[in-house]
Amino acid sequence: MSNAAQCVKTLIEGLIKDRQHYIALNSLLQRQRNHIIARAAAELDEVNRQIMVIYQELTQHSQQRYRLLETLGIPVSSQGVQRLITRLPDTHRSAVATLWQDLQKQATSCHTANEYNGRLMNMQESILTNIINAGEPENWLYQQV
């Protein structure tokens, strides 16, 4: 197997792993949301730890994908990956294109869930701040906006 073929094989294996990671991350983000709503701090800490492990894996795979695309002389971007897919043999092109599309869909879904959870936590923090300051109206009646 040539060096280029090995790079492509490694890149595709990384895409498969990343897709699996994003599916798991989506599930963890749902659990995180449930724990935020329930204010279950211990459970939330554990889910956050698991999320961080996946983030680290995704970061490592992203760095590896960057290096592999550079080695292949392909632009390091979504368009570069799509260009690589068009160069694959017919027998693999469709499956890898589907994999890439689903990976992007999973990543977008995780991004949306993560933003939602962040807004949820900010709302809880705001409510708690208002409750804590309720006994001192001067601290919350004239807050800067």
Per-residue model confidence as pLDDT tens digits over 19-34:
999 999 999 999 999 9
Please tell me whether residue 136 adopts helix, strand or coil conformation. Answer: coil
Please check whether residue 95 is in contact with residue 14, taking contact to mean a CB–CB distance below 8 angstroms: no
Place of tokens 């554990």: 46
Q: What is the C-alpha to C-alpha distance for residues 107 and 110, in angstroms, rounded to an integer?
A: 5
pTM: 0.84
Q: For residue 53, what pLDDT is reported?
A: 98
Q: What is the C-alpha to C-alpha distance for residues 129 and 131, in angstroms, rounded to an integer?
A: 5
Domains annotated for the chain, with CATH where assigned, are 3-140 (1.20.58.300)
Per-residue model confidence as pLDDT tens digits over 90-105:
999 999 999 999 999 9
DSSP assignment of 5-66 equals: HHHHHHHHHHHHHHHHHHHHHHHHHHHHHHHHHHT-HHHHHHHHHHHHHHHHHHHHHHHHHH
Counting every residue written for the chain, the total comes to 145
